[in-house]
Structure 1
Amino acid sequence: MIQTSTPSILKGAFILSLAGLISKMISAGYRVPLQNLTGDLGFYVYQQVYPILGMALVLALYGFPGAISKLISDTHHISRPVSIPSFYLPVFALLLVFSLIVAVIGWLEAPQLARWMGDPRLVPSIRTSFFVFLFIPVISVLRGVFQGKNDMTPTAVSQIVEQILRVAVIIAAALIVSRGGDLYHIGAGAAYGSMAGALAAAVFLIIWTVKKPGLWSFDRFPCRTPFSRHVLLYGLLISFNYMLLLSLQLVDAFTLVPQLVQAGYSPEEAKVVKGIYDRGQPLIQLGTILASSLALALIPSVTRRRLEESPEQVRFSITSAGKITLYISTGAAAGLIFLFPDVNKVFFQDEAGSGYLRVLMLVIIGSSLSITTASVLQGLGRVRQTAFIVIGGIGVKAAVNLLWIPAAGIYGASFASLTAVAFVLLGNIVILRKDLSLKKRHHTPGVSLVLAVAGMSAALYISRGMIKALFALDDRLPLLLYILALSAGGAVVFGLILIRTGGFTRQEIEVLPSSKRLIQLLPKG
């Protein structure tokens, strides 16, 4: 039984991870044309409501389905149908009550939330955004049951369907607004897009469930498991672990504009500056996805049981994942910082804010390492601790925003985000040290990493000078091709220097593609 189920679980985890990667790429990528269509002010409006929509998305995709799937696996045999009256309906009712409470509170308190954000015109968008929470119950229950039965395909497909329709509606709303509409309507358009995507996902999951009668039954069975405590508490704790970047944006939504006004900006200037600052969010998301997704592929089997049975193998997986995350995130951040004026121009049409956005790119390193270490800790059963650390990071971000923005302007927000991710990363490392013995000396990649960053920067500097001396890069298309060429070349130089200077061990190289050729580049061949 174990031998047949283990490959199924790993295959399901891969399918879900791949769907998540595709969805996150779509989620990060569409914000570039959104900003191009609506400008910095329209992008500011969207980013003010995005954290609300993002929280609903995380709850419906990770939090509650994760809690429900755990409940299913703990209380049901994998081949046993799930009772509609004894499970589906009670859990659905519980989540419906929760969602109604959040939606009603959000609707009633929207004027106060808009005042805290420093912009009363956001009230309609905030109110519409909270309606998305009403779609959480049906999506969460069905995704949770499928995942509890180790069938990840419905969740994966519904996630992609939801994201595609959501983005299509948002871009359509942006096109309408760009042709003379009120820019503040883009906030409501984003909410309608999220609701359309959620509705499509719900319909898809319902149809898939109906076609699988072995997944449900009308038989009643006694259940002593406290649904409310397990689903709500555990679901919320899981969600916090996926909300690091989202929580930083939420704090900025409430504090940045009011603090910029306090620093001397006019309200309209503060909104535009906030929109320019938010240009960094999709780039941070893409960099974090790239760095953490490759590393997380190495640690799907990190569990408390495996740590006890094969401690050295687990330590190797964790340290390798940490090193890969550090390498990729540092290379991505360094490359973006070096190329940022051009990156800003090709994606967002001008070079505004390049200074503080360069500082913000350093968040990629801290957020990527935080997500990787948090994933390890979740595998070891430290869900509660990692959630509390993220909550602490939210507090740090808010406190530093309030302290530094009036004094340092928008740079203060960038430094506040860096401080928050550093706090979360440090907290995760402290907890991880309790589970992993670090007495054994591990290979430290510091020198190799410094040499790789320096070599890549030198190569980019020389290449940039040569290309700009030979070609005119006034239009966005040639500028995009120039950035892609430099990025690819810089990545190759970065990776080769890492390998050549001993940044990877032979054992780590052996799991990579073309490992025989790469091994020849190691210091000792």
Structure 2
Amino acid sequence: METNKFVAGALLLSVAGLISKILSAGYRIPLQNLTGDIGFYIYQQVYPIIGIAMALALYGFPTAISKLAAEKDRISFKYFMLPILFILFLICGTFSFLLFVNADAIATKIGDKQLVFAYQLASMVFLIVPFTALLRGIFQGKSFMKPTAYSQIGEQVVRVFVIIMVAVMVSYGGWDLYRLGPAAGIASIGGSIFALCILIYFYIKDRPSSFVTYTIPWKEYGRTIIVFGLIASLNHMILLILQFADAFTMVPSLIEYGLSPTEAMEAKGVFDRGQPLIQIGAVLGSSFGLALVPAISRKGTIDRYRETSAQISGALKISFILAAGASIGLIMLFPKVNSLLFQDNQGTLSLSILMVAVVLSALVITASSVLQGLDNEIWVALFILSAFLIKWLFNIFLVPHYGIIGSAIATVLSLLFLIVALVFRLKRIMGGEKLIQMKWIGFVLAISGMVIVVWLAELLIGTYDLSRFGLLIYILIVSTVGAITYLSLLVRFNVFLDSELSLLPFGSRLIRHHRRM
């Protein structure tokens, strides 16, 4: 019964996370449409900081607190909640203070002094994190996932609503574009407060704490929150951390490339068009593979690594296959996708290069989650920080010579380094076993079939000058037919095992189809 409750809760949390991430990526398209590339640039300069706070509040700290809460029969308000709240405030308050007092220096470093107030407001988001993280962690520790799921979706809905309303006022109400910077902070603060209200409602209703007494294990609390809260949360910040490097290095490097400050900001906004597409592609590409990670985690805790080889191979294989199809499809259709979503073809070449990051980031998310399930959090953190350094250095070296194409190459190279490092670590744990066991000829034939279908559609219809609505219909039809062709050929050539097919949408039908072949 307890296991069923845990599985149902984990599923609810996964669905809420998927909805939240799609919302988080999807609203940026109307944001860019309403405010243009300069408006999008302003928002994206602030967003990585807010995103890091959200990742700590949603994933990092709650995971650590849930681990501590699960070990307690009863949760003490005085001896559990207050000490952990104090530790969280110490960490988040330090982040908030450093960001607030250095807002002017940060804005100067990135080359846009008008963002000082935006960074100061963004620093305030960290002060709400301790409350939301504490309550989420306690509920999750008791396998009660509803509060976290509802608060996560509620927070995202409020944040998206505020941002889009401000974008509408910028577009139609004559508001200054730079109001988008502070609006990002206000939207996140509003969303966090709304999430906190939902969590407090569940806390009052369910009363998970009591007035038991025991010695406060400060060392255990502190170590768990730092290791599992800060280090483990890096897995959820991979794309954010790379965007953080872009926020600091791109505009100065683009000015060095020869653009004026305004042109550099607009070019950065054009480059940022790729972020929501990478995020959606990576999330969808990794979600089904990640369904195997809980099994890996359970076995990893007792050091039975070799027994997990089938699950690890399956997780990486599914993520690779789905993300590779999405990545290649996006590259082929990108000129039209760019026009459909962002109203023009600016930056098509650099953004097409950037779409390689879809498959790389899906693999990175899956591989790093597997390694964390095998208690390798420190290694994952070191690899991610190394990838951030590589991205930063390549931006400084490539962007002054190649513009935003240089930054696209830097993103791909940093993610490539990261997946290679993660795979080598996994192979070492698995004793050198092959990580992705797949019928590669079948995979290549399936990809080729999809490419031919998309190429024929481009040849027959792609040359016509389509309206935006026409582009929408065209892309929906071509992507659907391409995806069906790809999936059908994968099944036809026995690329998937039945256990892997069961994780995909309409898995039972695919299995029946597979068995008839």
Tell me which interval the TM-score lies in, with the shorter structure as reference length: over 0.9
Identify if the C-alpha distance between structure 1 residues 397 and 289 changes in structure 2 by more than 3 Å, giving closer, same or farther.
Answer: same
Identify if the C-alpha distance between structure 1 residues 315 and 307 changes in structure 2 by more than 3 Å, giving closer, same or farther.
Answer: farther
Counterpart contact for 1:449–1:503, Cα < 8 Å: yes
TM-score under structure 2 length normalisation: 0.95
Number of the residue aligned with 1:435: 429
User: Aligned-pair distance for 1:399?
Assistant: 1.0
Counterpart contact for 1:509–1:519, Cα < 8 Å: no
- Aligned to 1:444, what secondary structure does the other structure show? coil
**CA displacement, residues 157-187 of structure 1 (integer Å, 9 cap, x when unaligned):** 1000100011001111111111311101101
- Aligned to 1:418, what secondary structure does the other structure show? helix
Number of the residue aligned with 2:293: 299
Identify if the C-alpha distance between structure 1 residues 136 and 440 changes in structure 2 by more than 3 Å, giving closer, same or farther.
Answer: closer
Query: What is the CA–CA distance in structure 1 between the aligned matches of 2:422 and 2:436, rounded to whole Å?
Result: 19
Query: What is the CA–CA distance in structure 2 between the aligned matches of 1:391 and 1:424, rounded to whole Å?
Result: 9
Number of the residue aligned with 1:104: 97
Number of the residue aligned with 1:64: 61
Query: What is the CA–CA distance in structure 1 between the aligned matches of 2:209 and 2:51, rounded to whole Å?
Result: 30
| Residue 482, structure 1, aligned to residue 474, structure 2 | yes
**CA displacement, residues 194-241 of structure 1 (integer Å, 9 cap, x when unaligned):** 01000001111112101112x112333213252223213431011111
Number of the residue aligned with 2:346: 352
User: Aligned-pair distance for 1:137?
Assistant: 0.9
Query: What is the CA–CA distance in structure 1 between the aligned matches of 2:512 and 2:267, rounded to whole Å?
Result: 49
User: Aligned-pair distance for 1:453?
Assistant: 2.2
- Aligned to 1:184, what secondary structure does the other structure show? helix
- Aligned to 1:154, what secondary structure does the other structure show? helix
Identify if the C-alpha distance between structure 1 residues 375 and 402 changes in structure 2 by more than 3 Å, giving closer, same or farther.
Answer: same
Counterpart contact for 2:305–2:429, Cα < 8 Å: no
Query: What is the CA–CA distance in structure 2 between the aligned matches of 1:30 and 1:44, rounded to whole Å?
Result: 14
Q: 2:76 aligns with which of 83, 87, 104?
A: 83
State how many pairs are aligned: 512
**CA displacement, residues 89-147 of structure 1 (integer Å, 9 cap, x when unaligned):** 11112212322222222111111101111111111111111111111011011001001
Number of the residue aligned with 1:157: 150
Counterpart contact for 1:162–1:201, Cα < 8 Å: yes
Q: 2:389 aligns with which of 392, 395, 398?
A: 395
Query: Could you tell which deviates more after superposition, 501-510 or 231-240?
Result: 501-510
Query: Could you tell which deviates more after superposition, 311-320 or 473-482?
Result: 311-320
Query: Could you tell which deviates more after superposition, 102-111 or 327-336?
Result: 102-111
Identify if the C-alpha distance between structure 1 residues 73 and 516 changes in structure 2 by more than 3 Å, giving closer, same or farther.
Answer: closer
Number of the residue aligned with 2:180: 186
Query: What is the CA–CA distance in structure 2 between the aligned matches of 1:445 and 1:182, rounded to whole Å?
Result: 55
Describe how 1:454-473 pairs up with structure 2 within 5 A. Answer: 454-468=448-462
**CA displacement, residues 273-324 of structure 1 (integer Å, 9 cap, x when unaligned):** 0000000000000100110011111222112636868766622121111111
**CA displacement, residues 341-370 of structure 1 (integer Å, 9 cap, x when unaligned):** 110111101111101000000001111001
Amino acid at match of 2:480: A
Q: Structure 1 unaligned runs (5+)? A: none
Q: 2:112 aligns with which of 115, 119, 137?
A: 119
User: Aligned-pair distance for 1:502?
Assistant: 3.3
Describe how 1:327-476 pairs up with structure 2 within 5 A. Answer: 327-439=321-433, 443-468=437-462, 474-476=466-468
Number of the residue aligned with 1:502: 494
Amino acid at match of 1:15: L
User: Aligned-pair distance for 1:473?
Assistant: 5.1
**CA displacement, residues 58-105 of structure 1 (integer Å, 9 cap, x when unaligned):** 01001111111111123x02xx2x111111111112212322222222
Counterpart contact for 1:307–1:314, Cα < 8 Å: no
Query: What is the CA–CA distance in structure 2 between the aligned matches of 1:37 and 1:483, rounded to whole Å?
Result: 22
Q: Structure 2 unaligned runs (5+)? A: none
Amino acid at match of 2:482: G
Counterpart contact for 1:509–1:518, Cα < 8 Å: no
Amino acid at match of 1:499: V
| Residue 320, structure 1, aligned to residue 317, structure 2 | no
| Residue 223, structure 1, aligned to residue 206, structure 2 | no
Query: Could you tell which deviates more after superposition, 419-428 or 271-280?
Result: 419-428
Number of the residue aligned with 1:21: 18
| Residue 73, structure 1, aligned to residue 61, structure 2 | no
| Residue 234, structure 1, aligned to residue 231, structure 2 | no
Query: What is the CA–CA distance in structure 2 between the aligned matches of 1:505 and 1:305, rounded to whole Å?
Result: 21
- Aligned to 2:288, what secondary structure does the other structure show? helix
Query: What is the CA–CA distance in structure 2 between the aligned matches of 1:349 and 1:515, rounded to whole Å?
Result: 37
RMSD over aligned Cα atoms: 1.9
Query: What is the CA–CA distance in structure 2 between the aligned matches of 1:94 and 1:502, rounded to whole Å?
Result: 52
Amino acid at match of 2:414: A
Identify if the C-alpha distance between structure 1 residues 502 and 185 changes in structure 2 by more than 3 Å, giving closer, same or farther.
Answer: same
Identify if the C-alpha distance between structure 1 residues 237 and 35 changes in structure 2 by more than 3 Å, giving closer, same or farther.
Answer: same
Amino acid at match of 1:130: S
Query: What is the CA–CA distance in structure 1 between the aligned matches of 2:435 and 2:157, rounded to whole Å?
Result: 47
Query: What is the CA–CA distance in structure 2 between the aligned matches of 1:119 and 1:336, rounded to whole Å?
Result: 32
Counterpart contact for 1:304–1:381, Cα < 8 Å: no
Number of the residue aligned with 1:517: 512
Identify if the C-alpha distance between structure 1 residues 91 and 314 changes in structure 2 by more than 3 Å, giving closer, same or farther.
Answer: same
Query: What is the CA–CA distance in structure 2 between the aligned matches of 1:510 and 1:72, rounded to whole Å?
Result: 33
Query: What is the CA–CA distance in structure 1 between the aligned matches of 2:499 and 2:57, rounded to whole Å?
Result: 39
Query: What is the CA–CA distance in structure 2 between the aligned matches of 1:425 and 1:223, rounded to whole Å?
Result: 40
